[in-house]
Amino acid sequence: MKKLSAVIAASGLIFLSACTGVESYKEVEALNEAQFVGSPFTQTLAGEYRTFANTEQEVMFDYPDAMHFARKGLSAASGVTVLPEPVSDWNLSEAHVAELTVARGRLVRAFDIGAREVAPTESAVAQARFDCWIEQQEENWQMSDIVTCKSDFEDAMANLEALLSQQVVEPKDMMAPVEAVAAAPAEPMKPKDAMYLVFFDFDKSNIAASASSVVDAVADEIKSRDLNSVNIIGHTDTSGSSAYNKKLSIKRATAVKDALVERGVDPTLVKIDSRGESDLLVETADNVREPANRRVTVTFE
């Protein structure tokens, strides 16, 4: 009797798996045949999800996830802005929850300051690689795939943050509306209106490779203008003590000044200051690691 029950249970599992496979095939095929509309971001994201869903369906034989990401792809293909996967929706260890929560926050912050409009391709790739990472991390057995998705996400985020950092924005306003930028007359921005952002890794004051291009752009801009001063202000997130963060923000400001001087900027033009954790770009509670707050601002007079 037990053997018969086991056979019936196994048969039920096979039947359910077959049903899921049929349903996921329909969803993936619908995405394969879909015409993409909407913004450059949603169209690129739909293509990323199409590739991911097909891989899950045809290579991994993971029909539930193939169906899930095909549905996200279909939504994106119709012009809907779908979000990166919520960390709470996945069965992860505590350490992986913490790591992926920080990564998702970093991505969402970039979206909040206009990444989808400024860099739609890089934004779509970053979201797709995050979703790939979290899906592989839950399975937690194909280590090479986990490493690849995570590494691809980190590379995509570095590219995205570098592009965002190069945007000249209004102080306290990370990005003007796209329509306003397109309609603005092609005139050089006044020095007092310009701001550059150089982002830093957690607890670091060295300029990362992804930020070097921003410093290059700042140096070129300074040398092309007749300026009275270049103001550099260091900032941190709220992780750590306020006293420590004050010192760290000074180190970050000094690092940017030194990098500009190395690029030919007159050191007598440069003034540095630090705010530590007292002037957050993204408001957080105390002891929160927030990538957008780990920055140096550069303005001109």
Using the CB atoms, write b or e for 221-244: b if 16+ within 10 Å: bbeeeeeeebbbbbbbbbbbeeee
Q: Are residues 65 and 155 in the same domain?
A: yes
The mean pLDDT of 178-189, rounded to a whole number, is: 43
Confidence of residue 88 (pLDDT cuts 50, 70, 90): confident
The answer to whether residue 116 is domain-embedded is yes
The answer to whether residue 97 is domain-embedded is yes
Q: pLDDT averaged over the chain? A: 82
- Percent above pLDDT 90 for the chain: 44
Note down the domain range covering 130.
2-165
Confidence of residue 193 (pLDDT cuts 50, 70, 90): low
Q: Are residues 41 and 153 in the same domain?
A: yes
Contacts 24+ apart (CB under 8 A), 256-260: 256/198, 256/207, 256/215, 256/232, 256/296, 256/298, 257/232, 259/207, 259/212, 259/215, 259/219, 260/215, 260/218, 260/219, 260/222, 260/230, 260/232
In the predicted model, is pLDDT for residue 159 greater than 50?
yes
DSSP symbol at 199: E
The mean pLDDT of 71-91, rounded to a whole number, is: 90
Q: Are residues 207 and 281 in the same domain?
A: yes
Choose one of 121, 137, 165: the last residue of a domain: 165
Q: Are residues 88 and 235 in the same domain?
A: no
pLDDT of residue 216: 87
Q: Are residues 121 and 216 in the same domain?
A: no
In the predicted model, is pLDDT for residue 272 greater than 90?
yes
User: What pLDDT, in 10s, does the model give residues 194-232?
Assistant: 678 888 888 999 988 767 878 888 888 888 888 899 999
Q: Are residues 230 and 152 in the same domain?
A: no
Count of domains in the chain? 2
Nearest-10 Cα torsion for 144, 147, 153, 158: -130
Q: Are residues 161 and 274 in the same domain?
A: no
The answer to whether residue 87 is domain-embedded is yes
Q: Are residues 152 and 278 in the same domain?
A: no
Cα(250)–Cα(46) distance, rounded to whole angstroms? Answer: 43
pLDDT of residue 179: 42
The answer to whether residue 170 is domain-embedded is no
Choose one of 120, 136, 165: the last residue of a domain: 165
Q: Are residues 97 and 238 in the same domain?
A: no
Between 116 and 284, the higher pLDDT residue:
116
Q: Are residues 158 and 202 in the same domain?
A: no
Strand pairing class (195-199; 270-276): unpaired
The answer to whether residue 171 is domain-embedded is no
The mean pLDDT of 4-23, rounded to a whole number, is: 45
Confidence of residue 284 (pLDDT cuts 50, 70, 90): confident
The answer to whether residue 23 is domain-embedded is yes
The answer to whether residue 173 is domain-embedded is no
88-92, 186-190, 291-295: segment of lowest average pLDDT: 186-190
Classify residue 276 as left (phi > 0), alpha (psi -120 to 50) or beta: left
The answer to whether residue 209 is domain-embedded is yes
Q: Is the pTM of this model over 0.85?
A: no
pLDDT of residue 189: 52
Q: Are residues 123 and 248 in the same domain?
A: no
Choose one of 139, 165, 191: the last residue of a domain: 165
pLDDT of residue 21: 52
In the predicted model, is pLDDT for residue 181 greater than 60?
no
Q: Are residues 106 and 7 in the same domain?
A: yes
Q: Report the CATH number that the domain containing residue 260 is assigned in CATH.
A: 3.30.1330.60
Q: Using only C-alpha atoms, what is the Rg of the chain?
A: 23
